[in-house]
Amino acid sequence: MFENIKRFFEADSGSQPPADLPFDYDDLVLLDAEDLAEVGILEAYQQLHPQLRQYGAAEIDIAEEVDEDAGTYTVLADGIRYPIYGEGAEEDAWVLATIAFFDIVNAGLADASHRFYALYGGNDLAGIFLSDEQFRLAQRCFKRAMDRPWVPVNQPPHYGFPQDEEAPAP
């Protein structure tokens, strides 16, 4: 499966993964922003528990509120309310779910040696645990900004997604 990701780089001339890549693509956690936005944040977080324990993360209490009549999906984590869908957020649900998920995971990693970074976006969204040094190395390794690990933030228009001059928004 991860061979497909590696082949993606090989098929795009000029986008080969650097020989000194500071992480292994086999360590990627496949997420898919659509799945997160469709009442999938708690399930994805629970599936991440083994890795979170490995990095000494504090466990975050998460609750999902779904109101099918109102068409809303909200996540509550550590006293923070994350509206994902509804309340005028329908168009941005994938982005809001991505931001919420990475914010929640990284809140638990606040005192840990690693952070959880996004790679790509949308249906290709993945995450990876990196130390500060690995993150810095990864920023220098990739020619195209859109191939670099990033931190989702609630700041339009790109929400933290790395931008090359010609790169489209996620």
- What lies within 8 Å, CB to CB, of 88 at 6+ separation is none
Its domain, for residue 37, covers 26-145
Asked if residue 8 belongs to a domain, the reply is no
- What lies within 8 Å, CB to CB, of 136 at 6+ separation is none
Asked if residue 21 belongs to a domain, the reply is no
Asked if residue 94 belongs to a domain, the reply is yes
Asked if residue 136 belongs to a domain, the reply is yes
Measured CA to CA, the distance from residue 128 to residue 80 in angstroms comes to 23
Count: domains in the chain = 1
- Name the band, by pLDDT with cuts 50, 70 and 90, for residue 10: very low
Asked if residue 67 belongs to a domain, the reply is yes
Digit-coded pLDDT (tens) for 98-143: 999 999 999 999 999 999 999 999 999 999 999 999 999 988 888 8
